[in-house]
């Protein structure tokens, strides 16, 4: 289950990679723009501002997120990205911070690209922080004697790292396509008590939250907090720096 409020707590930092991604999409007058895994819809709104003449298509597998997107004025639906196929007039596809949740998502990309019309753009961004200290700590704690039984089956321990930019480029490349793939590590300034714990609570800890009752969830967080405080120490000015690697790939089909 996703909590839109938790997710939106860092909306400014989470929005920046989205804009860095969309900035590389050169479409001028797309007929349809699809946002796969639109989340709370606050960024989908900006796609409509960017391309005001386009039909906006937005969906997410989380009913909570779809409800939040509707509150942002987006006509979103509940659907799974694994079932999606582009409508024939889809000139832009954006999927931001979604595919890392979909195992084997590389296998979906060739079919989508093939089905898109000439001139279409496909843009994805995924967090590449699988080996970050925060995520190592989450997995190590989950596999400890205390938590392994409850969390081992929650899909936390067997998640796989996303490919690097070259991995996406290899799959997206093909005759009549231009691929632009890169990575960026954002050094994110956080503040307040246990800000890294708060950050991961909105995303990476979601499967942990779903697998535990309230008491266990509080206990797990209480064990994780001091580990994260050591890994990401608060600076004298109160800032806690969270380096965050993200992987981007944009493919453009020739007209
Ligand atoms: C980190 S949020 C990103 C939301 C939005 N794209 C953004 O950039 O703010 C990840 C979203 O992916 C959605 N999601 C995860 N797996 C999905 C799937 N298989 N199909 C559709 N949406 C999915 C989640 O429900 C969640 O809203």
CATH number (domain holding residue 212): 3.40.50.150
Whether 185 shows a pLDDT value over 80: the answer reads: yes
Q: Which atom of ligand 1 is nearest to the CA of 62?
A: 25
Contacts 24+ apart (CB under 8 A), 178-183: 178/251, 178/252, 178/254, 179/249, 179/250, 179/251, 179/252, 180/24, 180/248, 180/249, 180/250, 180/251, 180/252, 181/247, 181/248, 181/249, 181/250, 182/247, 182/248, 183/128, 183/245, 183/246, 183/247, 183/248
- Give the residue numbers spanning the domain of 202: 4-253
Q: Which of 58-62, 155-159, 202-206 has the highest mean pLDDT?
A: 58-62
Instruction: Count Cβ neighbours within 10 Å for each residue of 140-155 and write b for 16 or more, e otherwise.
Output: ebbeeeebeeebeebe
Q: What is the DSSP string of 131-200?
A: TSHHHHHHHHHHTSTTTHHHHGGGTSTT--PPP-HHHHHHHH--TTEEEEEEEEEEEEEE-SSSHHHHHH
Residue 93: beta bridge partners?
34, 122
Number of domains in the chain: 1
Q: Is the CB of 61 under 6 A from ligand 1?
A: yes
Question: What's the CA-to-centroid distance between 38 and ligand 1, angstroms?
Answer: 6
Kindly report, residue by residue over 87-132, the tens digit of the pLDDT: 999 999 999 999 999 989 999 999 999 999 999 999 999 999 999 9
Strand 32-36 to strand 55-60: parallel, antiparallel, or no bridges (unpaired)?
A: parallel
pLDDT at site 158:
67
- State residue 109 phi and psi, 5-degree precision: -65, -45
Place 142 in a pLDDT band, splitting at 50, 70 and 90. very high
Q: Is the CB of 58 under 6 A from ligand 1?
A: no
Question: What's the CA-to-centroid distance between 102 and ligand 1, angstroms?
Answer: 9
pLDDT at site 5:
72
Kindly report, residue by residue over 195-252, the tens digit of the pLDDT: 999 999 988 898 899 999 999 999 999 999 999 999 999 999 999 999 999 999 999 9
pLDDT at site 12:
83
Of residues 185, 233, 252, the one with CA closest to residue 28: 252
pLDDT at site 205:
92
Whether 155 shows a pLDDT value over 90: the answer reads: no
Q: Which atom of ligand 1 is nearest to the CA of 125?
A: 8
Place 61 in a pLDDT band, splitting at 50, 70 and 90. very high
CA atoms within 13 A on the CB side of 30: 32
Question: What's the CA-to-centroid distance between 155 and ligand 1, angstroms?
Answer: 17
User: What Å distances lie between residue 174 and 40, 61, 182, 221, CA to CA?
Assistant: 33, 30, 18, 45
Query: Average pLDDT over the chain, rounded to whole?
Result: 93
Place 161 in a pLDDT band, splitting at 50, 70 and 90. confident
Cβ atoms of 58 and 69 within 8 Å: the answer is yes
Kindly report, residue by residue over 126-141, the tens digit of the pLDDT: 999 999 999 999 999 9
Whether 153 shows a pLDDT value over 70: the answer reads: no
Nearest-10 Cα torsion for 71, 72, 73, 78: -70
């Amino acid at each position: 289950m996703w909590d839109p409020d938790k997710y939106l707590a860092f909306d400014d930092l989470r929005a920046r990679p989205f804009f860095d991604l969309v900035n590389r999409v050169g479409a001028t007058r797309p007929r349809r723009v699809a946002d796969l895994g639109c989340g709370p819809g606050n960024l989908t709104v900006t796609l409509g501002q960017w391309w005001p003449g386009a039909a906006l298509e937005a969906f997410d597998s989380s009913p909570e997120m779809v409800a939040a997107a509707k509150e942002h004025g987006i006509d979103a639906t509940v659907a799974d990205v694994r079932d999606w196929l582009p409508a024939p007039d889809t000139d832009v596809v954006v999927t931001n911070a979604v595919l890392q949740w979909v195992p084997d998502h590389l296998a979906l990309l060739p079919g989508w690209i093939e089905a898109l019309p000439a001139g279409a753009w496909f843009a994805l961004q995924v967090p590449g922080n699988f080996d970050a200290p925060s995520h190592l700590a989450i997995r190590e704690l989950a596999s400890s004697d205390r938590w392994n039984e409850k969390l081992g089956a929650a899909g936390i321990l067997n998640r796989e790292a996303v490919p690097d930019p070259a991995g996406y480029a290899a799959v997206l490349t093909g005759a009549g396509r231009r691929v632009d793939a890169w990575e960026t590590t954002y050094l994110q300034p956080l503040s307040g008590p246990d800000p890294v714990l708060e950050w991961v609570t909105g995303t990476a800890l979601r499967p942990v939250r779903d697998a535990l009752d309230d008491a266990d969830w509080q206990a797990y967080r209480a064990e994780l907090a001091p580990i994260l405080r050591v890994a990401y120490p608060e600076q004298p000015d109160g800032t806690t720096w969270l380096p965050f690697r993200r992987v981007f790939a944009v493919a453009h089909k020739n007209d």
